[in-house]
Structure 1
Amino acid sequence: MDLFRGKTSDAEQQKVLSLDRGLYFINYKNADDSVSPPHVMVAPAEGHEQRMEIILHPDATEPTLWKPNSGLVVRVNTPGTLQVQVQPAKPGGSRTATVRVEQIQAGQTRATGQVNGAGLPTNVATEGLKVLGHVAGRGDIVVGPNAWIAGPAAPSRVEGMALEWPDRPASVDIRYAVRFANGQTGSGKMVPLGTYAGTRGRALPLTAVVLEMSGTDELKFVAEAGFLNAPTLRAVGKRVVLSGPTNREPLVGIRIGIERIETAEQNATPETPRKSAGSARVRVFRSQQRQASAAR
Structure 2
Amino acid sequence: MAAGDLMVVVAERPSTLQITVRANAASGSLQAKLQIEPLNHVSVQQSATQDGDARPSLQRSMAATVPPEDLLLMAHVARRGDVFQKLGDWIGGPDAPAPIEGLQFTGSFIDGLFVEQRVLIAGDAQWTPWRPGHEFAGSRGHARSLTGFHVRLTGPLASRYRLAVEALFLGTTVIRKSGANLEFRSGAGIDPLIGVKIKLESIALRSRSVGPAAEESAMPKSALSTLNHERTRSGVRVFRASRDRVSTSA
Q: TM-score, normalised by structure 2?
A: 0.61
Q: Which has the higher helix share?
A: 2
User: What's the counterpart of residue 241 of structure 1?
Assistant: 183
Q: Give the 3-state SS of the residue equivalent to 2:143 in structure 1.
A: coil
In percent, how many aligned pairs have the same letter?
23
User: What's the counterpart of residue 100 of structure 2?
Assistant: 158
Match of 2:120 among 155, 164, 179: 179
Bigger-Rg structure (1/2): 2
Q: Give the 3-state SS of the residue equivalent to 1:170 in structure 2.
A: coil
Q: Distance in 2 between matches of 1:117 and 1:262?
A: 10
Q: Distance in 2 between matches of 1:148 and 1:190?
A: 23
**Count of residue pairs brought into register by the alignment:** 178
**Contact 1:260–1:291 (CA under 8 A) maintained in structure 2:** no
Q: Which has the higher strand share?
A: 1
1:213 is the counterpart of 2:213: no
Please state how far the C-alpha of 1:245 moved relative to its aligned partner.
1.5
Q: Distance in 1 between matches of 2:14 and 2:79?
A: 52
**Contact 2:63–2:202 (CA under 8 A) maintained in structure 1:** no
Q: Give the 3-state SS of the residue equivalent to 1:255 in structure 2.
A: strand
CA RMSD, 1 decimal: 3.4
Distance 1:181 1:260, change over 3 A: same
**Contact 1:159–1:198 (CA under 8 A) maintained in structure 2:** yes
Tell me, which stretches of 5 or more residues in structure 1 are unaligned? 10-35, 43-70, 72-83, 87-95, 101-113, 268-287
Please state how far the C-alpha of 1:174 moved relative to its aligned partner.
1.4
Tell me, which stretches of 5 or more residues in structure 2 are unaligned? 1-12, 21-33, 49-55, 215-250
Q: Distance in 2 between matches of 1:120 and 1:134?
A: 33
Match of 2:170 among 199, 216, 228: 228
1:207-249 Cα deviation digits (max 9, x unpaired)? 0110010122110111111100011111111000112212321
Q: Give the 3-state SS of the residue equivalent to 1:207 in structure 2.
A: strand
User: What's the counterpart of residue 280 of structure 1?
Assistant: none
Distance 1:253 1:7, change over 3 A: farther
Q: Give the 3-state SS of the residue equivalent to 2:128 in structure 1.
A: coil
Q: Distance in 2 between matches of 1:115 and 1:5?
A: 14
Match of 1:97 among 9, 26, 45: 45
Please state how far the C-alpha of 1:129 moved relative to its aligned partner.
2.1
Match of 1:130 among 72, 79, 82: 72
Please state how far the C-alpha of 1:38 moved relative to its aligned partner.
4.9
Aligned pairs for 1:263-274 (under 5 A) are none
**Contact 2:87–2:197 (CA under 8 A) maintained in structure 1:** yes
Q: TM-score, normalised by structure 1?
A: 0.52
Residue 16 of structure 2 aligns to which amino acid in structure 1?
R
Q: Give the 3-state SS of the residue equivalent to 2:46 in structure 1.
A: strand
